[in-house]
């Protein structure tokens, strides 16, 4: 029995699990630039790469296409889509509005001590990573800070929207780590935001986070306009 014919006999729950595994693995490879923008892969190639049948791979590709990460090609292949400077500008405008509102809501409501501790731990990890010039570790700590922040905003739909746009910026951020200025100011922004949240200053929290995202977005857009098109 071939892999393709075997797929039709897989129970529903297991098939969903296989599709999710295919989706997660292809998505990870795209976000980590193992499948950079412009990469073209046939459905069969991906199935062999992931060691699974073509059915879950095809379903994963459709989901990724719906999220704007790939386009489906004739004969069931896919091409990884680039993120243009204009795309990034629009995405950061949305992120700035959503996250600034979330920061204000969090400061107004207040955070428990354990959540504040998580934010401060992430800032400390960012400082330590910069001290040893480990930009990848810095990016992971930065991502952790923003994840903790958005998870505590109390608005599930806002959180889900932000996560959707993070996915579209992640690979650009990782690909430009060595091109961007040393992110010392970013660390200071994060610490200032934590302090505004601690003193329950909603206006300051919104302003600090808005200015931080505006600067970050402008920097990435500029790198995309000047840098290689494969980003």
- 119 and 16, same domain (yes or no): no
The tokens describing 52, both together, are 């699974």
Whether 109 is in a domain gets the answer yes
169 in Cβ contact with 83 (< 8 Å): yes
- 34 and 95, same domain (yes or no): no
The residue from 44, 59, 80 where one domain ends is 80
The residue from 80, 106, 125 where one domain ends is 80
- 75 and 113, same domain (yes or no): no
**Residue among 54, 32, 66, 230 nearest 139 (CA):** 32
Whether 157 is in a domain gets the answer yes
- 161 and 48, same domain (yes or no): no
**Residue among 217, 214, 203, 218 nearest 101 (CA):** 203
Residue 99: the pLDDT is 95
- 97 and 168, same domain (yes or no): yes
Instruction: Print the domain residue range for 95.
Output: 85-226
51, HSE (Cβ side, Cα atoms, 13 Å): 0
- 161 and 204, same domain (yes or no): yes
Residue 13: the pLDDT is 64
Residues 85 and 82: their CA atoms lie apart, in Å, by: 10
- 37 and 144, same domain (yes or no): no
Residue 15: the pLDDT is 61
Whether 231 is in a domain gets the answer no
- 64 and 168, same domain (yes or no): no
Residue 3: the pLDDT is 45
Query: What is the 8-class DSSP label of residue 201?
Result: -
Instruction: Give the CA distances from residue 68 to residues 17, 30, 207, 231, in Å, rounded to whole numbers and listed in that order.
Output: 22, 12, 30, 15
The residue from 48, 80, 112 where one domain ends is 80
- 148 and 164, same domain (yes or no): yes
The tokens describing 39, both together, are 């990469």
Contacting residues for 114 by C-beta, under 8 A, at least 6 apart? none
Whether 154 is in a domain gets the answer yes
Residues of the chain below pLDDT 70: 1-15, 227-231
81 in Cβ contact with 68 (< 8 Å): yes
CATH number at residue 113: 1.20.120.530
Whether 111 is in a domain gets the answer yes
- 66 and 21, same domain (yes or no): yes
Whether 152 is in a domain gets the answer yes
Domain count, the chain: 2
Per-residue pLDDT tens digits for 172-231: 888 888 888 899 999 999 999 999 999 999 999 999 999 999 999 999 999 988 865 445
- 102 and 186, same domain (yes or no): yes
Residue 149: the pLDDT is 93
List the alpha helices (DSSP H) in 76-134: 85-109, 113-131
- 36 and 97, same domain (yes or no): no
């Amino acid at each position: 029995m071939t892999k393709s014919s075997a797929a039709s006999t897989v129970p529903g729950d297991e098939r969903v699990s296989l599709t999710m595994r295919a989706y997660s693995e292809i998505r990870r490879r795209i976000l980590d630039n193992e499948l950079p923008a412009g990469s073209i892969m046939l459905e069969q190639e991906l199935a062999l790469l992931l060691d699974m049948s073509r059915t879950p791979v095809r379903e994963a590709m459709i989901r990724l296409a719906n999220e704007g990460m790939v386009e489906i090609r004739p004969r069931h292949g896919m091409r990884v889509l680039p993120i243009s400077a204009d795309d990034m500008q629009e995405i950061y405008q949305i992120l700035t509005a959503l996250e600034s509102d979330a920061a204000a809501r969090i400061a107004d409501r207040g955070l428990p001590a354990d959540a504040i501790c998580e934010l401060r731990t992430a800032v400390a990890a960012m400082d330590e990573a910069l001290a040893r010039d480990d930009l990848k570790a810095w990016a992971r700590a930065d991502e952790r800070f923003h994840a903790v922040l958005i998870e505590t905003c109390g608005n599930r739909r806002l959180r889900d929207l932000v996560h959707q746009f993070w996915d579209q910026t992640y690979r650009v951020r990782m690909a430009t780590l060595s091109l961007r200025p040393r992110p010392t100011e970013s660390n200071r922004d994060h610490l200032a935001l934590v302090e505004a949240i601690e003193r329950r200053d909603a206006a300051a929290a919104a302003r600090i986070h808005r200015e931080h995202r505006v600067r970050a977005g402008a920097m990435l857009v500029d790198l995309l306009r000047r840098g290689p098109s494969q980003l």
